[in-house]
Amino acid sequence: MADIIKLLPDHVANQIAAGEVVQRPASVVKELLENAIDAGASSIKLIVKDAGKTLIQIIDDGKGMSDTDARMSFERHATSKITTADDLFNLNTKGFRGEALASIAAVAHVALKTRPEGAEVGTHIEIEGSKIITQEVCATPKGTSLAVKNLFFNIPARRNFLKSNSVELRHVIDEFQRVALAHPDIAFAMYHNEGELFQLPKGNLKQRIVAIFGGKTNEKLVPVQEETDILTINGFVVKPEFSKKTRGEQFFFVNDRFIKSAYLNHAVTAAFDGLLPDRARASYFLYLKVDPATIDINIHPTKTEIKFDDEHALYAMLRSTIKHSLGQFSIAPVLDFNRDSELDTPYDYKNKGVVTPKIEVDRTFNPFESVPAPKRGAQRPDYEKPDVTGWEKMYEGMESQATAGSTVTFEKEVSTGNMFESGLNTKAAAPITATAGSQDESSTYQLNKKYIVSTIKSGMVIIDQHKAHQRVLYEEFLRNITVKESVSQQLLFPLTLTYSTTELALIEELKEGLENTGFIFGLISGDILEINGIPTSITESQVPVVIDQLLSDLENEVPDSGFSQTDTLAKSMAKSLAVKGGETLDSLSREHLVNSLFACKEPSISPTNKKTFITITGDDLDRKFK
């Protein structure tokens, strides 16, 4: 039998290794930023074009490299961070595997310019698909500039699997923010397609958080600090009233390295137990310092997962520290048996002396006397009892006036729970009758404030009011976005909302679709979103709910432009505006919802492919009683 096992060529092995390190442009950004930090840079600039597909360039003022080091940095398993296997258990740097630059150079065009401090000239190297094209001396500032162009130029299949520019840009921004948050003592800047996205000067941790997520974040933060023998905790948690339904603002850093840990996240959630609104998630920026020998950061290719020696101790410390901070700043109720704040002396009376109150008793007071007794020392006044005879004459003539045409108007209690205006009819006249027979005007009933029961010829239909209303609103919004004939209501005063740069980028991507539903946008810059008009189907107070739900639905992926984007927008708005289970509906609203549902093109399923109604025939009922 002939031998069939062969060694892979170097360029093929490099491309396979690159698949673990370089998954998308954001992977390149992460590796290059970490290299710049390890080089001791005090200022780092990131330049991106076409979300990193065309260009990713990192410029830093770090140590720089000699011509030999510059050439060696692109070799596989070449690193300056570790020398022995024991160094893997005492890591204090970002990159240590020696695969990043080699993997990037295997799937892109790379141009490197670097000069160490003290050298008169630097080194310029160009590589295409692991092949060195040129290496020459050049004039360049101290530090390193590395440009990655045409990512995956030699692997078309990988390039075709990349998402749209908006999706890839959001991943790049996420990696940039994680690195910037971990190092507030380094100045960062980011540019995309020659437009500035971030300009972050050096500062403390709180200043860096506010610079990234907007000025309104300052009032939302609660400091967290604790130091023990095995763990040091610093950072901030966001007050419960400002929590969101998205996971966006959840950051764990261990030894200045961003990590993901469901176990530690559960500890934070447990500390917020009973404080968060329904379905809201805690937001936090927490920095943990532990002994490098007690963690293993080499268990995942992206180094975002870490294994701790004693996770249970970290869980308990983190949970108790956050609980203490929430109680210390009066965010959570605290039981303190040493003092009662209600017994504290008010500020106005703190410096006043104690005066014994004087009590005077009127000993001449007789409660059974018709004329009140005068106070001591006062003369008894002449008191005349009012004459109340003939009080019946006050109402004489009232009956005759009422019969003459005057009426008495009583206030009527306002009916709540009406989704629709009185007398509003759907385009289809009782479509349910066309499919299931006739019904009376009062033949709809609400069950458990969640289901609508209606009679049909063959039995009855039970409708989930939330899912049914989702289907009605979904088709309405989809029609408005497609036809672009929505109606807007102008706001007397513009509505100003604050969002992070990432969230505003998502809103910009969907701006056209939102405008087709009836939104009118004003200024969108920095962290400010100004809204001048809203759809007629929603109120001003519902606008933040609609946008937050939209951002929550787009948390994982932003759909490409086209129908999928429109579909996501319509689904999200329908989900946030649909009547919820537990709301009482009057007969008009129930009738209108039933008729509107069966006027839809797909009345049987909700936008999320769930049943909107079920039918129970007479035969089904007969079988129940056998």
- Delineate the domains of the chain, giving CATH numbers in brackets: 10-200 (3.30.565.10), 211-328 (3.30.230.10), 431-616 (3.30.1370.100)
Region 20-38: what's the mean pLDDT? 87
Comparing CA positions, the residue from 506, 527, 543 lying closest to residue 218 is 527
DSSP string covering 296-312: E--SSTTS---EES-HH
Q: Write the pLDDT tens digit of every residue in 366-398.
A: 777 765 555 555 555 555 556 666 666 666 666
Cβ atoms of 165 and 51 within 8 Å: the answer is yes
Close Cβ partners of 218 (under 8 Å, ≥ 6 residues apart): 206, 210
Cβ atoms of 314 and 264 within 8 Å: the answer is yes
Q: Is the pLDDT of residue 625 over 80?
A: yes
Q: pLDDT value at position 19?
A: 58
Taking CA 446 as the corner, what is the angle to CA 441 and CA 451, rounded to the nearest 5 degrees?
A: 120
Region 242-261: what's the mean pLDDT? 83
Which residue(s) pair with 110 in the sheet? 127, 148
Taking CA 138 as the corner, what is the angle to CA 73 and CA 192, rounded to the nearest 5 degrees?
A: 70
What is the distance between the alpha carbons of residues 261 and 263, in angstroms, rounded to a whole number? 5
What is the distance between the alpha carbons of residues 245 and 567, in angstroms, rounded to a whole number? 21
Q: Write the pLDDT tens digit of every residue in 502-555.
A: 778 778 878 888 888 888 998 887 778 899 999 887 888 888 888 887 887 776
Q: Is 162 exposed, middle or buried (0-12, 13-18, 19+ CB in 10 A)?
A: middle
Q: pLDDT value at position 423?
A: 39
What is the distance between the alpha carbons of residues 456 and 440, in angstroms, rounded to a whole number? 10
Sign of the CA dihedral running 303, 305, 307, 311: positive
Close Cβ partners of 174 (under 8 Å, ≥ 6 residues apart): 26, 502
Q: How many CA atoms lie within 13 A of 455 on its CB side?
A: 7
- Residue that the structure tokens 């639905």 belong to: 553
Q: Is the pLDDT of residue 88 over 80?
A: no
Region 40-56: what's the mean pLDDT? 93
Give the amino acid at 518.
G
Provide the pLDDT confidence category of residue 434 given band limits of 50, 70 and 90: very low
Q: pLDDT value at position 384?
A: 57
Taking the mean position of all CA atoms in its chain, how far away is CA 519? 21
Greatest mean pLDDT range, 113-117, 331-335, 352-356, 487-491:
113-117
Taking the mean position of all CA atoms in its chain, how far away is CA 476? 26
